[in-house]
Amino acid sequence: MSFRKVFSLPTFFSMVLFVALLGNQFAKAQNQDSTAVSISAATDSASTAAASPAIPTLISTDVDTTKMSWNLGDGQGNKVEIGKAETDYSAAYKSFAYYSLLFFLFCVFIGIIGKALRAYELTRAIQGKTEGVNWNRIQGVLFAFALLVGLYGAYWSYTNQGSMINHTSGSVHGEKIDFMFNVTLVITTIVFVITHILLFGFAYKYVGSDKRKAYYYPHNNALERLWTIVPAIVLTVLVLLGFFTWRGITNISEADQKKALNIEVTGEQFKWTVRYAGSDNQVGLRNYKLTTPTNNLGIDFRDQKSWDDKIAGDIVLPVNRSVRFTINSKDILHSFYIPEFRVQMNAVPGMPTYFQFTPKYTTEEMREKTNNPTYEYVLLCAKICGSGHYNMQVKVKVVSEQEYQEWLVQQPLFYNDDVKKEMQAASQKAAAETNKMAFNTK
């Protein structure tokens, strides 16, 4: 068999992919900071590329908002500057150039080996020796090697990164979600190991040989039944488990909805505004047409339910009490995401969505559980909604009922003096206009 056949395009690309992945893992391992693993999904290359001292960790709520990309002027009529981010991307560019060069070198290396082998085969042919390199054998060994490396890689990622998925859930329903994930993970891991041993093991053992002939085995009904029915049953179990878990979390009776503490959050580029319902536990009506600089949620203050609504910088929740979030968006899709509560729900403009859950551990208890004295729950946005997306963070504090009540009393009302003045001015203007009309019609 010639070199060209062995180094066909698919083989070549799979090897390139393998090396690229290996390089990537290596780079990640080098950049990994064991102290910043609270949110595993967020530790991507961005954190290492843009690691400036001003942003301590990705989940920090102390991000300096003056460094946000939207700088809306100084309020004195000066020019509005857009997109003035101060992030330094040079590290990212360098790393990209480095890996591009590495990839190029690898291609050259493969090319040189190929040419050398071709020269070897041609020399043997000139010498009259018909037996060249046994490529089948080499391919078989490569398959066995790929199996061992692949299984070790899976083992490595489970043991090294597995702890990232193992965080204690901070909510009651979170435990059901974790159970579902664990069941799925165990089943898929077993299937993954068995199928890969069979796949690569067979390719190694029954590698092409002149000494034996392949056994002709076109069909077997029992086998067909087995590999149709078993996966069907397993998948049905997984799907139903997911369906009932999700239903149990989201299908809440009206009585339970009424019992819950009502909080409204509104996403916009790039912040969350939190509104507590106040003593009546009902947030007042809203209408986007009423939006003004003093009333940026467009709250309809003619609705008296809104008079006790409170603005909150952080979200503070009483432990072991059901809370119901009404989730809105003012502009585009955002996503209400508190990973440690296993809560995620899209924020859709024009269509409120809901998520009701019960926090199980206070922030203090979580600090003890995670052995991290600075631990915080954080509300994030899980939709890449624009340049300031990363900054859509609100600290969530879970405290005792008493601490919650004490905190709530101190929060300011939406229905403040500025709003009252604005409403008064509007009603005076309206009254003047009706007077004018009445006068004109006389």
Using the rule CB under 5 A, is 330 a contact of Cu ion?
no
Q: CB of 267: closest distance to Cu ion in angstroms?
A: 5
Q: How far is the CB of 268 from Cu ion (least distance, A)?
A: 8
Q: Which is nearer to Cu ion, 316 or 381 (CB)?
A: 381
Interior angle at CA 103, CA 99 and CA 107, nearest 5: 170
Q: Which lies closer to Cu ion via its Cβ, residue 379 or residue 398? A: 379
From the list 83-91, 123-131, 286-294, 380-388, the region that binds Cu ion by CB under 5 A is: 380-388
Kindly state whether residue 380 participates in binding Cu ion, applying the rule CB under 5 A. no
Which of residues 167, 275, 286, 334 is near Cu ion by CB under 5 A? 334
In the structure encoding, which two tokens stand for residue 299, read together? 């709250």
Residue 347 is a binding residue for Cu ion (CB under 5 A): no
Q: Which of 283, 297, 343, 381 binds Cu ion (CB under 5 A)?
A: 381
In the window 184-243, what residues touch Cu ion (CB under 5 A)?
none
Of the candidates 277, 316, 319, 392, which one interacts with Cu ion according to CB under 5 A? 392
Shortest distance, CB of residue 63 to Cu ion, whole angstroms? 14
* Residue 338 interacting with Cu ion (CB under 5 A): no
- At CB < 8 A and 24+ separation, what contacts does 60-69 make? 60/393, 61/376, 61/378, 61/393, 61/394, 61/395, 63/390, 63/391, 63/393, 65/391, 68/270, 68/388, 68/391, 69/386, 69/387, 69/388
Alpha-carbon gap, residue 133 to 243, rounded angstroms: 55
Please identify, among the stretches 118-126, 181-189, 321-329, 381-389, the one whose residues bind Cu ion according to the rule CB under 5 A: 381-389
Nearer to Cu ion, 146 or 381 (CB): 381
Q: Minimal distance in Å, beta carbon 270 to Cu ion?
A: 6
Longest dimension (CA), the chain: 120
Nearest CA-CA partner of 63 in 87, 89, 91 = 87
If one asks whether residue 385 binds Cu ion (CB under 5 A), the answer comes out as yes
* d(C-alpha 417, C-alpha 285), whole Å: 19
Q: How far is the CB of 411 from Cu ion (least distance, A)?
A: 24
- In the complex, the smallest distance separating the C-beta of residue 9 from Cu ion, rounded to whole angstroms, is 41
Shortest distance, position 385 Cβ to Cu ion, whole Å: 3
- Binding to Cu ion (CB under 5 A): which residues in 298-317? none
Q: With respect to Cu ion, which residue has the nearer C-beta, 249 or 385?
A: 385
Calculate Rg over the CA atoms of the chain: 31
Nearer to Cu ion, 390 or 404 (CB): 390
Q: What is the DSSP letter of 330?
A: S
81: closest CA among 366, 418, 387? Answer: 387
**Stretch touching Cu ion by CB under 5 A, among 38-46, 135-143, 331-339, 429-437:** 331-339
C-beta of 394: minimal distance to Cu ion in Å? 12
263 backbone dihedrals φ, ψ, rounded to 5°: -135, 140
Q: Which is nearer to Cu ion, 362 or 391 (CB)?
A: 391
Candidates 91-99, 180-188, 330-338, 395-403; binding stretch for Cu ion (CB under 5 A): 330-338
Taking a C-beta distance cutoff of 8 angstroms, is the pair 408, 316 a contact? yes
**CB of residue 179 to Cu ion, shortest distance in Å:** 30
Residue 82 contacts residue 69 (beta carbons within 8 Å):
yes
Size of site (CB under 5 A) for Cu ion: 4
Q: Using alpha carbons, select from 147, 133, 121, 143 the residue that is nearest to residue 207.
A: 143
Which two structure tokens, joined as six digits, stand for 389? Answer: 């997306």
Q: Which structure tokens are listed for 340?
A: 């440690």
Helices (DSSP H) in 127-220: which residue ranges? 135-161, 174-205
Is 271 near Cu ion (CB under 5 A)? no
Binding site for Cu ion (CB under 5 A): 334, 381, 385, 392
